[in-house]
Amino acid sequence: MTQRRHVIGMWVGLVVAVASGCGRPGEGPPADPLMDVFRHQAQEEGLTRIQTDGKRLFAHYCVTCHGEAGTGDGQNAYNLEPKPPDFQQSLPLHAVPYRRQIIESGTAAVGRSALCPPWVRNLSATQIDTLLAYLDALAKPPAVPGPGGSKQ
C-alpha cells in the first residue's frame, strides 16, 4: 500500500513539474529573440502586423536588388539595367493591381525588362498580400525623420 502511494506521489510530482516548470504557461512557441527585435523595430516604424510580415519577406526575397528601404540600392543593383526604381518615387504612379501583377508575374509581364522575377510559384497569395501592404509603407516617406532631422 505504501509503495503504491509512493508511485502515485511520483506521478503527481511529475505532472506538476511538467505543467509548471517546463514550457512556461501562457506562452506560445519558444521565444525567438531575433524576431522580437524585428517586431519591435517594425512597431517603431509604425507598421501594421501585415506590413511587418511583408517586411520580413521583403528582407528575404527583395532587398538584394531593391535595398533595405526600397530605394533601389540593393547589393545586386549595380548589376542591373534598368536599375530597381526608388519605390518612394515610382510606386505612387502605379495602382495596386499593377504592383500585384509585377510581384506575381515579374516586370516582363507588364512589358518591362525581365529583371524583376515572378514570385507566384514561390509565394502564397497571402504572402503576396503582405508584400503589397509593405510596399504601401515603402511608398510613403518615413513617418519619423532619421537622426539629424529631415530627410533632405
- Give the binding site for ligand HEC (CB under 6 A): 61-62, 64-66, 76, 80, 82, 84-85, 90-91, 94, 99, 102-103, 107, 112-113, 115-117, 119, 131
Helices (H), 1-152: 2-20, 33-44, 49-61, 63-66, 87-90, 96-105, 125-139
Q: Nearest 5°: phi and psi at 43? A: -65, -40
Query: Would you say 52 or 107 has its CB closer to ligand HEC?
Result: 107
Cβ 71 to ligand HEC shortest distance, Å? 12
The amino acid at residue 51 is Q
Using only C-alpha atoms, what is the Rg of the chain? 24
CB distance 88 to 138 below 8 Å: yes
Query: Would you say 30 or 97 has its CB closer to ligand HEC?
Result: 97
Query: Would you say 21 or 141 has its CB closer to ligand HEC?
Result: 141
Cβ 67 to ligand HEC shortest distance, Å? 10
